[in-house]
């Protein structure tokens, strides 16, 4: 199934207790694309400035990220600068330079319009809607958002909710959006406003899927070394949607599998800075880790 992502393609400068990067490859579409292409090619929609390193574009294209939908504009690429606390639990944004993203008006190439799976990365909900308007008949639309848009564009977000199938947010965002601190009530609130499915990402604790069939919980893969949480959520989305695209199966059982593949690609993302870890591992390692999630949660209480 054709898989489309719209999101930022950025240059990130990140400080963590373990080191820092300057202008490293980042952005929601980037992390999504690197994770999803373990499973299926990706059609990317975004914008970059004329300062964007061409070798990064080449590497993305080689990987199976179609860049026909990525506009090259005159000006600077989107830049984000952030710093994590010693325990990686808190992130402070030090600087955001929208650059060419400020005037971004996504236009989908013809072949993108037939995409069946769409991931609307965390950008202005108006842009998310504009992309969605150009996709002819998607089978599944998933969407990420954040506190900034929940605060600033609640009406647009409510419009968007009606048109998407899966909302992916973290627990703070689910609480903020619904006004309810209980995440299961929050998920219900959200599902009553459009999305059939809500995925609540809980960082080091894992992620929860709430849909018509019930609740599914996938833990975070236990890691003794975490370098940089940037992009984990987008990498999760990439694994999730990538698996759906390659399998072409939108059954409840397959959404559970997709959650596990999402947790897997999310866990690789945080093991190095930027998309570094995705350059080191292959499909075999992805699959092996995904399978090992079974050991983490397996128990048998029949007979008790």
Q: Which one among 64, 75, 216, 272 touches a second copy, defined by CB under 8 A?
A: 216
Longest dimension (CA), the chain: 67
Residue 288 contacts a second copy per CB under 8 A: no
- Write the DSSP assignment of 59-80 as a string of letters: HHHHHTEEEEEEEE-SSPPPEE
Minimum CB distance to a second copy, residue 180 (Å): 9
Q: Which is nearer to a second copy, 104 or 268 (CB)?
A: 268
Nearest CB to a second copy, comparing residues 74 and 86: 86
* Interaction of residue 257 with a second copy, rule CB under 8 A: yes
Q: Considering the rule CB under 8 A, would residue 295 count as an interface residue with a second copy?
A: yes
Provide, rounded to whole angstroms, the least separation between the CB of residue 215 and a second copy: 5
Site for a second copy in 64-123 (CB under 8 A): 86-89
CB of 256 to a second copy, least distance (A): 4
Q: Could you say whether residue 247 binds a second copy (CB under 8 A)?
A: yes
Of 249, 254, 248, give the one whose Cα is nearest residue 213.
254
Does residue 291 bind a second copy (CB under 8 A)?
yes
Does 272 sit near a second copy (CB under 8 A)?
Answer: no
Q: How far apart are CA 295 and CA 288, in angstroms?
A: 12
- Single out the segment in contact with a second copy by CB under 8 A; choices: 47-55, 60-68, 135-143, 249-257: 249-257
Cβ closest to a second copy, residue 33 vs residue 206: 206
* Cα–Cα dist 24/13, whole Å: 6
CA distance readout (Å), 128 to 95, 156, 162, 206, 229: 23, 10, 13, 26, 24
Q: Which of 19, 94, 152, 181 binds a second copy (CB under 8 A)?
A: 181
Q: Determine the Cα–Cα distance for residues 27 and 52; give it in Å rounded to an integer.
A: 13
Query: Is residue 225 within the footprint of a second copy (CB under 8 A)?
Result: yes
Cα–Cα dist 222/200, whole Å: 18
The residues that bridge with 120 in the sheet, in sequence order, are 6, 143
Q: How many residues bind a second copy (CB under 8 A)?
A: 49
How crowded is residue 173: how many other Cβ atoms within 10 Å of its Cβ? 21
Do residues 119 and 94 make contact, with C-beta atoms less than 8 angstroms apart? no
The residue behind tokens 């236990």 is: 222
Told to check if 201 binds a second copy by CB under 8 A, we report no
Radius of gyration of the chain (CA): 18
Shortest CB 47 distance to a second copy, Å: 34
Q: What is the DSSP letter of 26?
A: E
Binding footprint of a second copy on the chain (CB under 8 A): 86-89, 175, 181-185, 188, 202, 204-206, 208, 214-219, 222-226, 243, 247, 253, 256-257, 259-261, 287, 290-291, 293-302, 304
């Amino acid at each position: 199934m054709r898989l489309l992502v719209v999101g930022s393609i950025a240059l990130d400068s990140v400080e963590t207790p373990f080191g820092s990067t300057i202008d490293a490859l980042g952005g929601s579409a980037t992390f999504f694309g690197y994770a999803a292409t373990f499973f299926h090619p990706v059609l990317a929609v975004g914008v970059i400035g004329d300062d964007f390193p061409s070798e990064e574009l080449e590497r993305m294209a080689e990987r199976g990220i179609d860049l026909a939908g990525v506009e090259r504009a005159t000006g600077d690429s989107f830049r984000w600068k952030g710093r994590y606390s010693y325990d990686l639990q808190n992130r402070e944004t030090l600087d955001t330079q929208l650059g060419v993203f400020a005037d971004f008006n996504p236009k989908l190439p013809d072949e993108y319009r037939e995409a069946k799976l769409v991931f609307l990365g965390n950008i202005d909900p108006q842009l998310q809607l504009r992309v969605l308007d150009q996709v002819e008949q998607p089978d599944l639309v998933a969407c990420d958002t954040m506190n900034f848009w929940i605060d600033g564009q609640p009406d647009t977000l409510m419009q968007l909710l009606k048109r998407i199938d899966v909302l992916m947010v973290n627990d703070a965002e689910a609480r903020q959006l619904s006004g309810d601190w209980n995440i299961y009530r929050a998920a219900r609130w959200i599902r009553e406003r459009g999305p059939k499915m809500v995925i609540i990402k809980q960082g080091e604790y894992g992620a929860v899927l709430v849909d018509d069939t019930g609740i599914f919980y996938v833990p975070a893969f236990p890691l003794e070394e975490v370098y940089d949480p940037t992009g984990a959520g987008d990498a999760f989305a990439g694994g999730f949607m990538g698996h759906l695209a390659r399998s072409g199966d939108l059954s409840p059982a397959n959404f559970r599998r997709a959650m596990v593949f999402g947790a897997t690609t999310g866990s690789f993302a945080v093991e190095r800075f930027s998309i570094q870890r995705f350059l080191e591992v292959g499909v075999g390692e992805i699959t092996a880790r995904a399978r090992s999630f079974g050991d983490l949660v397996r128990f048998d209480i029949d007979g008790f």
